[in-house]
Amino acid sequence: MAKTVVLCAYNVANFPAGGGHLWVYMQYVFGLKRLGCDVYWLECFRRSGDAERDAAAIDSFFTRLGSLGMAGHVILRAVDPSSPAEVETLGLSAAEAASVYDRADLLLNFHYAIEPELLARFRRTAMVDIDPGLFQFWLSRGQLQVPRHDLYFTTGETVGEPGALFPDCGLSWVHIPPAVCTEQWSRANGDGGEAMTTVSAWSSGDWIVDRAAGIRFDNSKREAFMAYLDLPRLTAQPLELALFLDIEADHADGRTMADHGWRIRHSRDVAGSPQAYREYIRRSRGEFACAKPSCMYFQNAWVSDRTLCYLASGRPVVVQDTGPSRILPNGEGMFRFSTPEQAAAALEAMNADYARHCRAARELAESCFDSRAVAARIMDVAAS
C-alpha cells in the first residue's frame, strides 16, 4: 500500500511572485511521488486584511500547484492574524483534511514554527532543516521555538559534526543532501544565453544578532553581492541578476549594480511563476551566485536549491565557497570562489571547456542530489 505523506511548506501562498520558492518544496514532492507515495501539500496562509489581494494570491497558489500535478491534494489553512484561533480550511474541507492527517504515515515539515496542536495530529513527524547553521543558531539563542518532532533531517553537511562552528542543540540529526527532481529538470540543449544569471532576494532585514557574544551582521544577499560590485570589470563574461526588488532603496542598489556592469532584471518579470523560473534557468549560460554571509560565518558547506536546478539543467555554476565539503567539487561543473579574482578565474576556466562542464553539472545533480534518492532516504529513516 502506498505511504501517505503530508509535506508542510512555508510562505509559498503568501509569496505569489516567488516562482522559485515553490520549487524548494516541489523537489521533495516529486521525489516522494516517484517512490509511489501519496503526497499532500499543507500550508498556512496569513490573511492581509485586503480581501481582493488575498483572493488573488490564493487563486494563484492553487492554480500553480494544480499545474504541477497537485490538484485535489492541497490543504491551505487560512488564518487572520487578528483572530489566529479561527482557521478556514481551503482546498479540501476541514473533514477531508482531518482524514488525511489521521491516515498519514509521515508529516514532513519545513515550517519551523508549525502550531504544536497541528503537529500533534500526526502519528509520525519529521522536521527538515534547510537553513543549516542558521537554524541551530536561532534555536540555541532562543530566537526560534520549535515544537518537538520524532525525527530531524538537515541538508547541512556539518550539522552535529565534530568541529562544527555552531551547536547541535542536543538533537540527533540525520543528514540528507538538498534535492532536485532531475526528471522535472532535464538537461537543456545548447549553450543557453550569453549571461551567467541567478535569481535572488535582495535586502531582507535578516540580521544575525547575539548581543552576549558581540555578534551582529547583515545576512542579506545585498551584503554578499556588494562585496563583488566590481567583478564585471574583471571578466568579459556577462553577469545578470534577477532580483526581487521591493523598496526604493532596493531599486537604488539595482541602479548602482548596473552602473558597475551588472545586468539587472526584476525576478517577478522573468521568474514569477514556477514554469518561468525553470525556463529562465535553462536559457542561461550557467549560474553565478553569492551566498548569504551566515554561510561563510558558519562554514556550513551550503549549496542552494536554485544552484541544483542549474546543475540538473546541465548549466555549470560558479558559486561562493561556503566551507569544506565532502560532495561539492571545485572545477568540474561547479566552481567555488572566495574573492573577486577567484570568481573571474573560475568564469574563464568554465568558458574554456564549456561543454565538458555542462556534462559534469548534470552528472553531479544525478549522482548527489536526485530527489528520488533523497526521498528514499527520508522514508527509510522514518520507517525505522
How many other CB atoms are there within 10 angstroms of residue 279's CB atom? 16
Phi (first) and psi of residue 199, to 5 degrees: -120, 130
Q: Could you give the CA distance from residue 213 to residue 205 in angstroms, rounded to a whole number? A: 20
Which grid coordinates are listed for 94?
476541514
Which grid coordinates are listed for 255?
541602479
Q: How high is the pLDDT of residue 237?
A: 98
Q: Name the 3-class secondary structure at 211.
A: helix
Domain 4-179+370-383 - what CATH class? alpha beta
What is the greatest pairwise CA distance in the chain?
60
Long-range contacts of 339-344 (CB under 8 A, 24+ apart): 340/227, 340/228, 340/230, 340/231, 340/234, 341/234, 343/228, 343/231, 343/234, 343/235, 343/288, 343/318, 344/231, 344/234, 344/235
Question: What one-letter code names the amino acid at 205?
Answer: G
1 pLDDT more than 90: no
Specify burial of residue 248 (Cβ count, 10 A radius: 0-12, 13-18, 19+): exposed
Task: Kindly report, residue by residue over 306-347, the tens digit of the pLDDT.
Answer: 999 999 999 999 999 999 999 999 999 999 999 999 999 999
192 pLDDT more than 90: no
Mean pLDDT of 193-214: 89
CA angle 35, 40, 44 (to 5 degrees): 140
Q: How high is the pLDDT of residue 233?
A: 98
Q: How high is the pLDDT of residue 212?
A: 80
Question: What one-letter code names the amino acid at 319?
Answer: V
Q: Taking a C-beta distance cutoff of 8 angstroms, is the pair 26, 62 a contact?
A: no
User: CA dihedral defined by 44, 86, 118, 13, rounded to 10 degrees?
Assistant: -10
Q: Name the 3-class secondary structure at 194.
A: coil
Long-range contacts of 255-263 (CB under 8 A, 24+ apart): 256/229, 257/225, 257/229, 260/229, 260/230, 260/232, 260/233, 261/231, 261/232, 261/233, 262/232, 263/195, 263/238, 263/239
Q: Taking a C-beta distance cutoff of 8 angstroms, is the pair 305, 27 a contact?
A: yes
186-190, 212-216, 240-244: segment of lowest average pLDDT: 212-216
14 pLDDT more than 90: yes
Domain chopping of the chain, boundaries: 4-179+370-383, 196-368
Q: How high is the pLDDT of residue 247?
A: 85
Phi (first) and psi of residue 44, to 5 degrees: -100, 135
Superfamily in which the 196-368 domain is placed by CATH: Glycogen Phosphorylase B; (3.40.50.2000)
- Residues shown for the chain: 384
CA angle 26, 120, 117 (to 5 degrees): 95
Q: Could you give the CA distance from residue 374 to residue 77 in angstroms, rounded to a whole number? A: 28
Q: How high is the pLDDT of residue 240?
A: 98
6 pLDDT more than 90: yes
Phi (first) and psi of residue 39, to 5 degrees: -110, 130
Q: What percent of the chain has pLDDT over 70?
A: 100
Q: Name the 3-class secondary structure at 5.
A: strand
Which grid coordinates are listed for 263?
545586468
Mean pLDDT of 62-84: 94
Q: How high is the pLDDT of residue 274?
A: 96
Q: How high is the pLDDT of residue 205?
A: 79
Q: Taking a C-beta distance cutoff of 8 angstroms, is the pair 37, 107 a contact?
A: no
How many other CB atoms are there within 10 angstroms of residue 213's CB atom? 8
Mean pLDDT of 7-33: 97
Q: Taking a C-beta distance cutoff of 8 angstroms, is the pair 323, 296 a contact?
A: yes
Same fold, 4-179+370-383 and 196-368: yes
User: How confident is residue 214, by pLDDT bands cut at 50, 70 and 90?
Assistant: confident
pLDDT, mean over the chain? 96
User: How confident is residue 84, by pLDDT bands cut at 50, 70 and 90?
Assistant: confident
Q: Could you give the CA distance from residue 229 to residue 368 in angstroms, rounded to a whole number? A: 32
Task: Kindly report, residue by residue over 356-379, the tens digit of the pLDDT.
Answer: 999 999 999 999 999 999 999 999
User: How confident is residue 211, by pLDDT bands cut at 50, 70 and 90?
Assistant: confident
Mean pLDDT of 39-60: 96
Which grid coordinates are listed for 293?
554571509
